[in-house]
Amino acid sequence: MSALGPPIIVAANRGPVSFERDEKGELVARRGAGGLATALIGALQEARGIWVAAAKSGGDREVAAGSEGGRIDMHAYGATYGLRYLDIPPEIYDGYYNGISNGVLWFVHHYLWDTPRTPSFGEGTERSWAGYVAVNRMFAQALAEEGDRTRSEPAYLVQDYHLAMVPRFLRELRPQALIAHFSHTPIAGLTYLRTLPGKIREGVLRGMLGADVLGFHSQMWAENFLMSARSLSGVRADLARSRITVEGREVMVRIQPISVDAGPMRAAAATQEVRDRQHELNRWRGNNRLILRVDRLELTKNIARGFQAYELLLKRRPDWRGRVRFLALLSPSRMDLAEYRTYTEECLAEAERVNRELGEEDWQPVEVRVKDDYASVIAAYGLYDVLFVNPVFDGMNLVAMEGPLLNRRGVLVLSRNAGAYWRLGRHALAVNPFDLREMADALETALEMPQAERARRARGLSRLVLTNPPQRWVGRQIEDLERVRRRRASAQTS
């Protein structure tokens, strides 16, 4: 794709950078991690496109306030794309972000309810939902305005569950818009979606159906969406062709797994900081084999059962005591939600219990480090014998891809309920994340796997990740929209 390609406009809750004041008091742009931002920025740079996001930090708001309509020329920061921050009133943002996006949609799509007790929707939900609708309208409005400024109809790339209603609202403003929406989460099945108030369920589903192309990380999530859409009146879904017909329009449902960008990770791995961490970690591990997990402290990540499975292994196979250690690198997440604080305490208590019950004077089975520490993560990726990725449900899971890029002999133990399983499963040891026995078996198999098989699997994993760079993930979405553009143009001329 060259700069002569179609204009691109990205919409995502979070911007590609966040502005903060540095020690000298100057505003600097900090890049977030993650393949998503990398891939989208790459495409935007080439197309000289624009990214629309919600202002998050005080610095974001400051930058937005000092510019026209929140538009920031990123040339000042060495980039060729534009950035527009929406300055959303805090009480509306709270309902949209904490209330609905992370408090309702995240929970439902990851099957996180304790149904006899949660959820309970009340007056607060109603207010939050109004905020969600309002923010989605603000995004749609900004996207429409940006579309007016491009030389031809742009390709809109709308990201994730925060912005599920944007496609529909944008379609109302620009009936001919070319809109792709991508879901980075799982998608709950039809029955489970019935936990949502009808207004929210229909709002989200019909909102997404405003797009021309809907992308998902795995077939399971795509099929769940198709079956749910099929239940709406006036909507026809063709499972075999992965097409939905609504209001005379056709919506393509596509499976487009994202991947991670090898370059920056390998560059980071070569830094002195990471080498120092590796040195420290190597001293710490001594002669022990290393089981590693890297996760946000997130309800979906299945951290406590991970420790329990490891405990089961050590009880069954006492000969592994004193010969293996489990390192959990956990970063705090959503600590403003009570459920997350409770879950964090539970996970830490579980690790402590295992150490108390099985630890010996000179050997502790588990080490938990709670910190946002990218250098240690990159360092640990190079060292693991087993990478343990066992989420209860996960849209994709990028840790399962990052690790193998930096490790040529470690074994991946991977949940069958992560989107990554559909892509990487054949080179991993697959587990049911609710089955302690199966996870303990897999850890044991991984620890005892012959060198040649370990290397073969690790090669297979890194090859799969490398042959599917994040640029390709963006590229396929843009190609799909180009197909829509051509179809629409030929329909108009014929």
Instruction: Pick between residue 77 and residue 121 the one whose CB is nearest to a second copy.
Output: 121
Instruction: Pick between residue 1 and residue 304 the one whose CB is nearest to a second copy.
Output: 304
Q: How many angstroms separate the CA atoms of 144 and 40, rounded?
A: 19
Paired strand residues for 386: 291, 411
Q: How many angstroms separate the CA atoms of 320 and 311, rounded?
A: 11
Instruction: Pick between residue 96 and residue 107 the one whose CB is nearest to a second copy.
Output: 107
Q: How many angstroms separate the CA atoms of 432 and 415, rounded?
A: 6
Q: Comparing C-alpha atoms, which of 417, 491, 412, 400 is closest to residue 445?
A: 412
Q: Catalog residues that contact a second copy under the rule CB under 8 A.
A: 110-117, 119-123, 125-126, 186, 188-192, 194-198, 220, 223-224, 227, 239, 299-300, 302, 304-305, 308, 312, 343, 346, 392-393, 416-417, 432, 434-438
Instruction: Pick between residue 373 and residue 444 the one whose CB is nearest to a second copy.
Output: 444
Instruction: Pick between residue 284 and residue 434 the one whose CB is nearest to a second copy.
Output: 434
Q: Are 301 and 414 in contact (CB under 8 A)?
A: no
Q: How far is the CB of 126 from a second copy (least distance, A)?
A: 7
Q: How far is the CB of 261 from a second copy (least distance, A)?
A: 29
Number of residues that make up the chain? 494
Instruction: Pick between residue 77 and residue 111 the one whose CB is nearest to a second copy.
Output: 111
Amino acid at 263: G
Q: How many angstroms separate the CA atoms of 385 and 411, rounded?
A: 6
Q: How many CB atoms lie within 10 A of CB 451?
A: 8
Q: How far is the CB of 371 from a second copy (least distance, A)?
A: 22
Residue 63 has which token pair? 């930058």
Q: How far is the CB of 117 from a second copy (least distance, A)?
A: 7
Those residues with Cβ within 8 angstroms of residue 304's Cβ, 6 or more apart along the chain or in another chain: 346, 347, 350
Amino acid at 102: N
Q: Are 426 and 412 in contact (CB under 8 A)?
A: no
Q: How far is the CB of 259 from a second copy (least distance, A)?
A: 23
Q: How far is the CB of 110 from a second copy (least distance, A)?
A: 8
CA angle 213/395/267 to nearest 5° reads: 100
Instruction: Pick between residue 120 and residue 272 the one whose CB is nearest to a second copy.
Output: 120
Q: How far is the CB of 225 from a second copy (least distance, A)?
A: 11
Q: How far is the CB of 455 from a second copy (least distance, A)?
A: 28
Q: How many angstroms separate the CA atoms of 108 and 118, rounded?
A: 11
Instruction: Pick between residue 97 and residue 340 the one whose CB is nearest to a second copy.
Output: 340
